[in-house]
Amino acid sequence: MNLMVFPKSAELLDIAFRRARKQAAMLKSERNVIKDAKSRSIKRIEASGNYAIELMKNTVKDFPSMQKIPAFYRELIETTIDVDATLKALGHMSAGRKIIARIKGNSIGRIKGLQKFEAKKANAIAMEFYGRLSSLMKKLDGSIEKYNEAARKMRELPDVNFELPTAIIAGYPNTGKSTLLGRITKSKPKVAAYPFTTQKLQIGYLIHNYNKVQLIDTPGLLDRPLEKRNAVEKKAIAALKHLANEVIFVVDPTYQSGFSLESQKKLLEEIWELLSTPIIVVINKADAATEEELLAAKNLFPGAIIEGEGIESGLKERIALALKAGKSQLAETKN
């Protein structure tokens, strides 16, 4: 999510006052002293006030509505940030924006009402506005920091395409998930931050018969037993339910990953219960496995697709067909 990080009050005020000086200096001098004083003071108030007002207005407007965003993002956001505290901070900023707009209007009105002999009062009113703007912005620092904390975390959320059918890649670490993703997509997967693990989400795209499929590897989430996941990770997995149309479970028959076939079978069963979506099991690294290792894997995972470097497994076709069938079933259900 492309949310802005709001500047702290000192930085905002510095920019606002520099803009005010610059715009006031660009005005042509009036021969009439009172007109000149009025126009320059009004310009300073408008330039500084409008900068703060527009910045806060856009910040509040750009924050996503929790009722309108996809359920996947809603659950990720609720897991990642304190939503109530963030909305309260945005409400404080919105109220501050309205106060600044009111003070700005009152100050400009006072300047416009000055008499010919009151030219010096124009500058005094502008300086008074500066002081009140500074005071208000400093009072917002706590809310600004609370919003910024949330914005930084939300900027790390993965950028997924909800229009595409999606397959989630799962399996223990070192089973060759990333290699498999790169091989079947024929491209380097896009790497995005994911706030539930120190590792990175990897997204690749498979095109088969002009149909595009989104494949996502989620390291740190679907690669270990349930009892080893913390509460935040469990919520993240729950969010995946809204995204996954299919799961590709990758098995390593060679024991290079350090996990037995029995452990991998148990993880597969847990993922099945967690996501309740169709699962394609792939026995990976077939090119590096011995005949005995491959046979043991086939016996424990009957019907699995055999994959490896240089092997034409038909996995891409299987993924595309399974997702197409799933979309058809969904359409029938809706109709």
What average pLDDT does the segment 104-118 reach?
A: 94
Q: Are residues 220 and 316 in the same domain?
A: yes
CA proximity to 143, closest of 95, 182, 107, 89: 89
Report the C-alpha gap between 115 and 113 in whole angstroms: 7
Q: How confident is the model at residue 292 (pLDDT cuts 50, 70, 90)?
A: very high
DSSP letter assigned to residue 167: E
Q: Are residues 100 and 238 in the same domain?
A: no
Q: How confident is the model at residue 301 (pLDDT cuts 50, 70, 90)?
A: very high
Question: Residue 79: what pLDDT?
Answer: 79
- Contact between residue 150 and residue 19 where contact means Cβ atoms under 8 Å apart: no
**CATH number of the domain residue 305 falls in:** 3.40.50.300
Report the SS3 class of residue 217: strand
Residue that terminates a domain, selected from 154, 186, 201: 154
pLDDT in tens, 10-40: 999 999 999 999 999 998 887 789 999 999 9
Q: Are residues 146 and 205 in the same domain?
A: no
Residue that terminates a domain, selected from 119, 154, 189: 154
Whether residue 75 lies inside any domain: the answer is yes
Q: Are residues 306 and 178 in the same domain?
A: yes
Q: Are residues 172 and 289 in the same domain?
A: yes
Terminal Cα distance for the chain, rounded: 33
What average pLDDT does the segment 5-9 reach?
A: 93
Whether residue 256 lies inside any domain: the answer is yes
Whether residue 159 lies inside any domain: the answer is no
Question: Residue 187: what pLDDT?
Answer: 62
Domain total of the chain:
2
**CATH number of the domain residue 27 falls in:** 1.20.120.1190
Q: Are residues 206 and 275 in the same domain?
A: yes
Whether residue 2 lies inside any domain: the answer is no
Q: Are residues 16 and 65 in the same domain?
A: yes
